[in-house]
Amino acid sequence: MEDDRSDLTPQWIEASALAAPALFGAAAGLLLSDLMHRNARRGVGVGLGVLGILAILPFVVDGVADLVTGPRSRYGVRRQIQRIRDGGDGLPDHDEVDEQLREQGLI
């Protein structure tokens, strides 16, 4: 069974994942270079490092949330069992579909 969440990933999350390595690289380059004054270099490097961490943060939060409430977690299994017991499988009732087909004159 495929994970349907990959289609639901917002585009900004993917963009932030692509930007994170570049930001980390820029931060490391600034911290290691001798072209700037030491205090200015440190400030810019720390700022870019923080931006890199913030760019990765959506993935970390999504991964932790999936571990806690995902379909393979204890909570996710309980939630799925409860939905099955309640009859709330998310599918429309057959009576509603039959009624709509009768209104359209198809049956």
Average pLDDT of the chain to the nearest whole number = 76
Domain boundaries, the chain: 10-103
User: In sequence order, which ranges of the chain are alpha helices (DSSP H)?
Assistant: 11-32, 38-69, 74-86, 94-103
Mean pLDDT (whole number) for 11-28: 80
pLDDT band at 1 (very low <50, low <70, confident <90, very high): very low
**Alpha-carbon Rg of the chain, whole angstroms?**
25
What are the distances in angstroms from CA 7 to CA 2, 20, 67?
11, 21, 18
pLDDT band at 40 (very low <50, low <70, confident <90, very high): confident
